[in-house]
Structure 1
Amino acid sequence: MSLLETLAGKGLRREPPTRDEALALLATSDDDLLDVVAAAGRVRRHWFGRRVKLNYLVNLKSGLCPEDCTYCSQRLGSKADILTYTWLKPGEAADAAAAGMAAGAKRVCLVASGRGPTDRDVRRVADTIAAIKERGDVEICACLGLLRDGQGERLRDAGAHAYNHNLNTSEAQYGDICTTHDFGDRADTVRRSRDAGLSPCSGLIAGMGETDGDLVDVAFALRELDVDSVPVNFLIPFEGTPLAGQWALTPQRCLRILAMVRFVCPDVEVRLSGGREIHLRSLQPLALHIVNSIFLGDYLTSEGQAGQADLDMIADAGFEVEGADVPTLPEHRREAAPARDAAPLADAVPVPDAAPVSGARADLVAVRRRGAGTELPPNA
């Protein structure tokens, strides 16, 4: 297909597709799916080889959020059957993080529900970062909501490497999924994180009733913000939230969405994130030919695929876990990154051969449980 040849060629040159080309990719048929994956795979391998970066989530504070994001099980008024708890102590969070690090996670993502952190919350997270760093050097990404003046700098000085704040959807659709803050608020926090010397991480959620145009618009918005990593989530329609029962995705559509993001952001870390197990199902290994990063194990309020299954999938598909001594981003992106006052990260915990993480899942049973509360969608 000439479209795919054009997209792959542009991706190898770091050129974005046109909006019409991105829309045309999303409109390709299932008959062309393997060609789509192969074309996106050329771009992925050019910039990242066959490496897969592992990330591990630690939910520092769950539920009781004052924001009304319709997709979220932790939202204001949520009836979702999830555990709610206040801040984990630094040692508890470090114990959870250590389980992921032992299985090869290069980045630990510290997440807390809420509109945004108070200065006291920033101090809590700084103490948690210190406790985790005592277990081994690892990238730390904070995800605490909307940032205020000086907070990003304090997180950077505490040893954080990155800050995550997802755009989630297009500016045009944003009012349909949230009323307590807007698209501009989220984009502002992404800019603040970069200005503070943190690596900006921001992504999207597919499956919320958006159009192809919305997906393309948010992808281009992320490119314009020049983020370093793009988590692509697929909606988990939690019972007890406004989007319960909304199963609009197929495995094939998920792969096309991932490919579109890869072509729009060719040299950026694209991370396969929440909902991959229930939407991609048996096609998850194909996604590894497009993305270069995944979350290991569980998510915030729902269980993921067993960690050992993730490691087996990576190996069986012919990929390798990215080690701490390998730069995550291509050289030109690392050179363009803002200078950081914090000391550079050293090598992290070595990846053990076929490291089981069953113990890690058992350790987290007190703060996590399956949250979707519904049967898997039909394979349609």
Structure 2
Amino acid sequence: MSDQELSVTQTPGTTRWHDLAERTLAGEPLSFEQGLAILRSPDIELLDLMSACYRVRHHHFGNRVQLYFLMNAKSGLCPEDCSYCSQSKVSDAEIPKYNLLNEEKLLEGARLAAERKAKTYCIVISARGPSEREIETVTTIVRKIKDQYPIKICACLGLLDDDQARRLKEAGVDRVNHNLNSSENYYGEICTTHGFSDRVETLRAVRDAGMELCSGGIIGMGEKDEDVVDMAFSLRDIGVESIPVNFLNAIDGTPLEGSSGLNPRYCLKALALFRFANPDRELRIAGGREIHLRTLQPMGLYAANSLFVGDYLTTKGQAPVEDYRMLEDLGFEVCRDGLPELQADPLTVIG
């Protein structure tokens, strides 16, 4: 065992986590053993772990937080069998089902995203991959949004080929979201209609087209600690710019209904793992934060530097005004990364 690994597996308490922060800030990559040690650390060390994690987060991002607004532009009707998803063909969840929203509604979503001081407007459809009509509609609306609002666009459209990725780039899409969702080893347990390699290939097409990568995963689907570390390392190896970490919302009617077994302390340790594994990458607390972090939500921002403000795909999120107050109480500031500042006070936005 190396000296680097000894520092987090044998040194007690505060010392080992701040030693890990020092090594991370010096450019040393996290080892697999260190990743497991983070997830399996005793709860009594949680505050020390988050303190050390915050040193890394603050070094790269200060107290800035980036906000994202998500629009479920096409709901349900998906032919894939992802066991966690309420929109899949194997789900009996009672959710709205509709085809791609019209231009007026997508523009209204962009307006609301800008009003809420979101850095990025996320357009999401449920599908294996976009049809020609859907690609054409999305590229057309992205151009109009860019003409009207000072906001970045992230598209989440399923599996993409090289030509589709190129067209999205040409339309002005800044970033594409396509989550790995779990480790390569565990992926077959949550989906059989496509594989882990299909997701990696989509990320390659997006990168080759010149767009940024947004990719993360879901924790609480029955995977082992080793799978969580594997996923964090896969994202590091691919070099994604933005990492959304979701905590399973085990929706009634899905194959994973009633599962997860998460607690807030483990969720915080998972966020710390992703920060140490990807120290200078945007880390977002995504779906399930209200359910699983509960009253410890603010602590998650000592690791993460990004949040969704508003609802998720088929589930409700915390009211935006509560998110703004949480950030204010933490002494953190909303950052739009060079985009023009807006005049609206986000504390006046309810809904």
**Superposed pair shares fold, TM > 0.5:** yes
Contact 2:122–2:153 under 8 Å retained in 1 = yes
Which among 55, 68, 88 is matched to residue 81 of structure 2? Answer: 68
Mapped to 1, the partners of 2:114 and 2:346 lie a distance apart of: 13
- Are 1:179 and 2:192 an aligned pair? yes
1:92 aligns with 2:92: no
Choose from 153, 164, 168 the match for 1:140.
Answer: 153
Q: Which residue of 1 aligns with 2:210?
A: 197
Instruction: Output the CA distance in 2 between the equivalents of 1:101 and 1:242.
Output: 36
Structure 1 unaligned segments of length 5 or more: list them.
Answer: 326-346, 362-380
Matched residues in 2 for 1:90 and 1:194: separation? 27
RMSD: 1.2
Question: What is the CA-CA distance between 1:355 and the residue it aligns to?
Answer: 3.7
Greater relative contact order, per chain length (Cα 8 Å cut-off, separation 6+): 1
Give the equivalent residue in structure 1 for 2:3. Answer: none
| Match status 1:23 vs 2:15 | no
- Give the CA deviation at 1:7: 2.1
Is 1:352 the counterpart of 2:344? The answer is: yes
> Which whole-Å CA distance do the structure 1 matches of 2:20 and 2:326 have between them?
27
Letter in 2 for 1:293: S
In the alignment, residue 173 of structure 2 is paired with which amino acid?
A: A
Q: Distance in 1 between matches of 2:194 and 2:62?
A: 39
Distance 1:202 1:36 in 2: 24
- Cα distance in 1, alignment partners of residues 208 and 162 from structure 2: 11
| 2:304 is equivalent to residue 291 of structure 1 | yes
Give the 3-state SS of the residue equivalent to 1:227 in structure 2.
coil
Query: Residues 263 and 119 (structure 1 numbering): CA distance in 2 closer, same or farther, change over 3 Å?
Result: same
Give distance in 2, aligned partners of 1:75 and 1:154: 26
Find the aligned partners of 2:259 and 2:147 in 1 and give their Cα distance.
43
State the one-letter code of the partner of 1:11.
Answer: T
Indicate how the Cα distance of structure 1 residues 351 and 59 shifts in structure 2: closer, same or farther if over 3 A, else same: farther
Aligned to 2:266: 253
In 1, are the aligned partners of 2:250 and 2:260 still within 8 Å (CA)? Answer: yes
Worse overlay, 315-324 or 209-218:
315-324
Q: Which residue number in structure 2 is paired with residue 269 of structure 1?
A: 282
Match for 2:342: what amino acid? P
Judge conservation of contact 1:229–1:271 (CA < 8 Å) in 2. yes
Report the alpha carbon displacement of residue 113 of structure 1 after superposing the two structures with TM.
0.5
Give 3-state SS (helix, strand or coil) of 1:150's partner.
helix
The answer to whether residue 231 in structure 2 is matched with residue 239 in structure 1 is: no
Cα deviations by residue, 1:311-365 (Å, 9 ceiling, x for unpaired): 111111110000342xxxxxxxxxxxxxxxxxxxxx345163244333xx4xxxx
- Local SS of the residue matching 2:283: strand
Task: Point out the more displaced range, 292-301 or 129-138.
Answer: 129-138
Aligned to 1:373: none
- Matches of residues 114-125 of structure 1 in structure 2 within 5 Å? 114-125=127-138
Three-state SS of the structure 1 residue aligned to 2:348 is coil
- SS at structure 1 position matched to 2:213: strand
Q: Deviations over 1:181-215 (max 9, x none)?
A: 00000111111111110001100100001110000
Q: What SS is found at the alignment partner of 2:29?
A: coil
Query: Per-residue displacement from partner, 1:226-285 (whole Å, max 9, x unpaired)?
Result: 000100000000100000001410000000000000000000000010000010000000
Deviation digits for residues 46-80 of structure 1, max 9, x if unmatched? 00010000000011100010000000000013110
Q: Match for 2:199: what amino acid?
A: R
Say yes or no: does 1:309 pair with 2:322: yes
Deviation at 1:134, TM superposition (A): 3.5
CA contact (8 A) 2:242 2:281 kept: yes
Aligned positions, number:
338
Q: Would you say the 8 A contact 1:323–1:351 is kept in 2? A: no
Which runs of 5 or more residues in structure 2 are unaligned? 1-12
Work out which of the residue numbers 224, 229, 234 in structure 1 matches 2:242: 229
Q: 8 Å contact 1:201–1:231 — kept in the other structure?
A: yes
Contact 1:103 1:356 in 2 (8 A): no
Residues 114-141 of structure 1 deviation map (CA, whole Å, 9 limit, x = unaligned): 0011232111101221232243121100
Q: Partner of 2:162: helix, strand, or coil?
A: coil
Structure 1 counterpart of 2:94: 81
Which 4+ residue blocks in structure 1 deviate beyond 6 angstroms?
none
Structure 1 segment 140-159 matched on structure 2, within 5 A: 140-159=153-172
